[in-house]
Structure 1
Amino acid sequence: MPSLNPYISFQNTARAAMEFYQTVFGGELDISTFDSFPEMGVEPSEQQLVMHAQLETPDGFTLMAADTPSHMPYVKPAGISVSISGDDEAALEGWWDALAEGGTVAMPFETPPWGGRFGMLTDRFGIDWMLALNAAPQS
C-alpha cells in the first residue's frame, strides 16, 4: 500500500530537528549520513550531514528529512505545513506544547468557529505545523 508523508529539507540541522521530533512523537529514528555514500560527491566537511533520516512513530506517522549539501541549491520550506489531526485531545495538546517550545505560534491551539481545536505554529527549526482536534459530530 502506498504512503504519503512529509520529506523535509534542512541545511545542516536535519539531525537536530529529527532528534527533536523523536522527543515530540516518540518512535524509531534511523539516520544515514553522506559518509556512507561516497558516490554522492559531498565535500569532506559535510560527510556527517544527514543524507536521509526517517522517523516511524507509534501513532503511525512517518517523517523523513535530509540536509542539503552546499553543492546543491537549498530553498527553505515555504507554503506548506505539516498537519496533524485527530480525536485524541491529550495527544494533540502534548504535541502542540512540544512543537511550540522555542517556536512561534501563529494561531493558538484554541476553539475555531467550526469547533474542535485548531492551531498553527512554526517550530524552532522553521517548519510550519497545523494541529487540529476534530470537531464533535453534530446531532
Structure 2
Amino acid sequence: MSTTLATYIALPGNAAEAFEHWHRVFGGELDLTRYGDMHMEGMPFEPDPQHVAHAVLTTAGGQIAGGDAMEDGNDYLVHGTAYSLLYSVETPDDARGLIQKLITGGGSVGMPFEKAPWGEWYGTVFDRFGVMWSFSAPSAD
C-alpha cells in the first residue's frame, strides 16, 4: 500500500446519504461499510447497525473518507466551520458542472464561481449536508 492522505468527515448520522450523494455528483468508486455489516462482538460500544462505520469515495481527484460520528456527546458542526474541501479541476466548465450538481442536490452558493484576483477561477458551494466545497480552475487565457 502506498502512502496517501485523505479528508475524513464525521457526520451526524447521515453519512450514508452524504456519501451516496457525493458519489452521484463526483463519480468514482464508493466503498461503504455499516456497523451492521461488521462482526460486532467485543466492541466497546453498541452503535446503530445502520450507521456508517467507514466510507471511502475514490475519485480521479483523490479520496474522501468518513462515517457517522460516535454518540459521545460531542457536537460535530459541519456548516459554518472554517474548513472546506478544495476541488481543483481542469476547466471552469468542469467546475460549473459540479457546482450545478451540488446546488441541484439541495446546496447553496457560498461565493459565486468567478475569476479571482489571482487570475484563476474560484467559488464555494455548501452542499445540503453543510459541507463547504471550494472549486478552483485555471484561467483559459
TM-score norm. by structure 1 comes to: 0.85
Taking the aligned partners of 2:75 and 2:84, their CA distance within structure 1 comes to 18
1:1-139 aligned at under 5 Å gives the runs 1-35=2-36, 36-38=38-40, 39-43=43-47, 46-57=48-59, 59-71=60-72, 73-77=74-78, 78-101=81-104, 102-135=106-139
Task: List per-residue Cα deviations over 1:31-75 (Å, max 9, x = no partner).
Answer: 1111214215224xx111001001112x14211110013235232
Cα separation, partners in 2 of 1:71 and 1:90, compared to 1, 3 Å: same
Segments of 4+ moved more than 4 angstroms: none
Taking the aligned partners of 1:40 and 1:134, their CA distance within structure 2 comes to 49
Percent identity (aligned): 31
Aligned residues: 134
Task: List per-residue Cα deviations over 1:6-44 (Å, max 9, x = no partner).
Answer: 11110111000000000011111111111214215224x
Query: Is the CA contact 2:13–2:68 (under 8 Å) kept in the aligned structure 1?
Result: yes
Aligned partner of 1:19: which letter?
E
Any stretches of 5+ residues in structure 1 without a counterpart? none
Taking the aligned partners of 1:21 and 1:115, their CA distance within structure 2 comes to 28
Query: Is the CA contact 2:34–2:50 (under 8 Å) kept in the aligned structure 1?
Result: yes
Query: Is the CA contact 1:9–1:67 (under 8 Å) kept in the aligned structure 2?
Result: yes
Aligned partner of 2:87: which letter?
I
